Amino acid sequence: MRLGFLVDLSRCMGCMACAVACKAENNVPLHSWRLRVKYIDQGEFPDVKRHFVPLRCNHCDNAPCERICPVSALHYLPNGIVNVDHERCIGCASCMMACPYNAIYIDPITNSADKCTYCAHRIEVGLMPACVVACPTHANIFGDLDDPESEISKYIKNHRDVMVRKPELNTHPKHFYVRGSTVALDPLASERPEGYTIFTEVKFLEHIGGH
Amino acid sequence: MIGAEVTFDVALPKIVWGWLVSTNMWAKSIATGTFLLGIYFIKKYPEQDNFFRKWLPILGLIFIGITLLVTVLDLHHIFRFWKIFFHPHFTSAVTLGAWVVSAFVIVLLISFWSWATGNKKLLDRVMIPGFILAFFSTIYTAGIMGEATAREVWVFPSEMISMLLSAMLAGSAAYLIIDALYGNILQEKVRRELGYILFGSAGLSAAMFIGELFFAKMHSEFSYEVVKVLAFGEVAPFFWIGIVFAFIIPMMLVGIANEYRRYRYAWIASIFALIGLWLIKHAWLIAPQTLPLS
């Protein structure tokens, strides 16, 4: 079994139900996110388009975070999920430096590295990840990539425009996007103006959760 | 349609590894550089070995102590650092580094005991393992940076060469400073050779940085953007002052010192070199972290 995610970006309407469900399910503290939805505006009025991109851990087959973690706090489960052992983490932040997807954060309460685990605790008892359940448009498709009959496998087979983020890094992500675009998936393809935008201040927080 | 801009994203920490990590690399360069050069000078100039047998362990222990202190302080779980020894994951250069540096500390303690008791044979016995451990203590951080695949400009083996040169630069500068502080106790030929090592390592380091900045092929948009941040962006002051302090000024001053036998210039060069080395390491560390990954 090799569990994976696929997001049909044409279905995502940026409602953030997934992000909220994730926070509620996993007790994710304020200022921290396991799953977030990035908005990108493209074009000039009246010819404009808004892209919504749910971002979470890619559970790479060749995960740099697992390799660099000095204490195996980040480790593979037999189903391919890259899980986190909070009790083992020493908080060196190497995983944050290794993850090309900015998917890992230091939890300000536990001071340990944390990230999306594909809701491993729910999978264990046969439930779907919280974000899948909450999505009103079924944009999040989750399942076994090794099973040709699973919805995700069929989706990947039937779509030509299956994309992953930063494929050139050979991390082999198990998180796919269809109907995406470079603007949506490449962090450098869009401008990030300083200051307030339509929704919020696009600004990084100072280092949190530690010294 | 033209242009695209991010209108909503959730903040994540920007600089994850900051000045504590820069200080770690800087102090480690001094600790390992003084050991590697110390062994070389003990072997080459046995008549002058008292100076190096004394200062090799003292400088080594002080600066490796700083390295270990800032490393532990940088952990979000300071009191869990021991887990790296009891739950090691040997694919990680962090783990390998922790083990190698710990072994290097033991060698330094033996070296210190050797100097304190006057038992020269003790240091002689640990010279070869010490040399190997100092070498790997210098380069393991390059391994970590190579594994930090999110920051594409930190590339092994160029980081490894850069760190070895940093060790030579820092080691020679530290010995020149100690020599000047204690009234030029080294023989002139030793002082000159230290000056040449400082000159050479500064020149080669500068060539690496400038070469990478202006002539290296950028394999990704990320690398290209990092170079822009380094050369013209928010990190540029650290970077350019670092280049001038660590490489340009020391090369000029050491050149004058060795050419005209005015060795006080070598002392000033060494001060600049050590300050500049910290700045350049800091610039190189934080520049890739200023770019968004999501």
- Would you write out chain A's pLDDT as a tens digit for each of its 211 residues? 999 999 999 999 999 999 999 999 999 988 789 999 999 999 988 899 999 999 999 999 999 999 999 999 999 999 999 999 999 999 999 999 999 999 999 998 899 999 999 999 999 999 999 999 999 999 999 999 999 999 999 999 999 999 999 999 999 999 999 999 999 999 999 888 776 565 555 555 665 544 4
Query: Min CA distance, A205 vs chain B (Å)?
Result: 5
Answer whether A44 sits within 8 Å of B1, measured CB to CB.
yes
Query: Min CA distance, B149 vs chain A (Å)?
Result: 5
Q: Which residues of A touch B90 (CB under 8 A)?
A: none
- The predicted pLDDT at position B214 comes to 82
CB A67 within 8 A of CB B91: yes
Show Cβ contacts of residue A19 under 8 Å, excluding neighbours closer than 6 positions: A33, A35, A36, A37, A54, A131
- Burial call B23-41: b when 16+ CB within 10 Å, e when fewer: bbbbbbbbbbbbbbbbbbb
Query: Min CA distance, B147 vs chain A (Å)?
Result: 6
- The predicted pLDDT at position A211 comes to 47
Q: Which residues of A touch B68 (CB under 8 A)?
A: none
pLDDT under 50: residue ranges of chain B = none
Show Cβ contacts of residue A160 under 8 Å, excluding neighbours closer than 6 positions: none
- The predicted pLDDT at position B134 comes to 98
Identify from A36, A90, A192 which residue to disrupt to test chain B contact, counting B C-beta atoms within 10 A and taking the largest count. Answer: A90
Q: Where are the alpha helices (DSSP H) in chain B?
A: 19-44, 49-74, 83-86, 93-117, 120-147, 158-181, 188-214, 221-232, 236-243, 249-260, 264-286
Query: Min CA distance, B103 vs chain A (Å)?
Result: 17
- The predicted pLDDT at position B2 comes to 62
Domain membership flag for residue B34: yes
- The predicted pLDDT at position B102 comes to 97
Spacing of C-alpha B248 from chain mean position: 17
- The predicted pLDDT at position B216 comes to 79
pTM of the predicted structure, to 2 decimals: 0.93
- The predicted pLDDT at position A202 comes to 53
Query: Min CA distance, B92 vs chain A (Å)?
Result: 4
Q: Supply the CATH number for residue B110's domain.
A: 1.20.1630
Q: Helix, strand, or coil here: A27?
A: coil
- The predicted pLDDT at position A12 comes to 96
- The predicted pLDDT at position B7 comes to 85
Domain membership flag for residue B1: no
CB B38 within 8 A of CB A71: no
- The predicted pLDDT at position A206 comes to 60
Which one of A92, A206, A207 has the shortest CB-CB distance to B75? A92
Identify from A37, A48, A94, A194 which residue to disrupt to test chain B contact, counting B C-beta atoms within 10 A and taking the largest count. Answer: A94
Q: Closest residue of B to A167, CA-based? A: B220
Answer whether A204 sits within 8 Å of B11, measured CB to CB.
yes
Answer whether A43 sits within 8 Å of B2, measured CB to CB.
yes
- Which residues are bridge partners to A41 per DSSP? A50, B5
C-alpha separations of A186 from A35, A38, A40, B96, B285 in Å: 17, 12, 11, 33, 23
Domain count, chain B: 1
Answer whether A68 sits within 8 Å of B94, measured CB to CB.
yes
Domain membership flag for residue B10: no
Q: What is the ipTM of this complex?
A: 0.91
- What is the residue type of A134? A
Domain membership flag for residue B57: yes
User: Half-sphere exposure of residue B7, counting CA atoms within 13 Å on the CB side?
Assistant: 16
- The predicted pLDDT at position A151 comes to 96
CA trace torsion B89, B92, B94, B97 (10° rounding): 90
Q: Closest residue of B to A107, CA-based? A: B76
CB A125 within 8 A of CB A115: no
Domain membership flag for residue B125: yes
Query: What is the residue range of B192's domain?
Result: 19-290
Q: Which residues of B touch A61 (CB under 8 A)?
A: none
Answer whether A207 sits within 8 Å of B15, measured CB to CB.
yes
- The predicted pLDDT at position B35 comes to 98
- The predicted pLDDT at position A192 comes to 83
The helix (run of H) or strand (run of E) holding residue A42 is strand A36-44
Domain membership flag for residue B7: no
Domain membership flag for residue B195: yes
Beta strands in A131-202 (DSSP E): 140-144, 175-178
Domain membership flag for residue B8: no
Q: Which residues of A touch B3 (CB under 8 A)?
A: 42-44, 191
Answer whether A40 sits within 8 Å of B87, measured CB to CB.
no
Query: Min CA distance, A181 vs chain B (Å)?
Result: 12
Determine how many CB atoms are found less than 10 A away from the CB of residue A138: 10
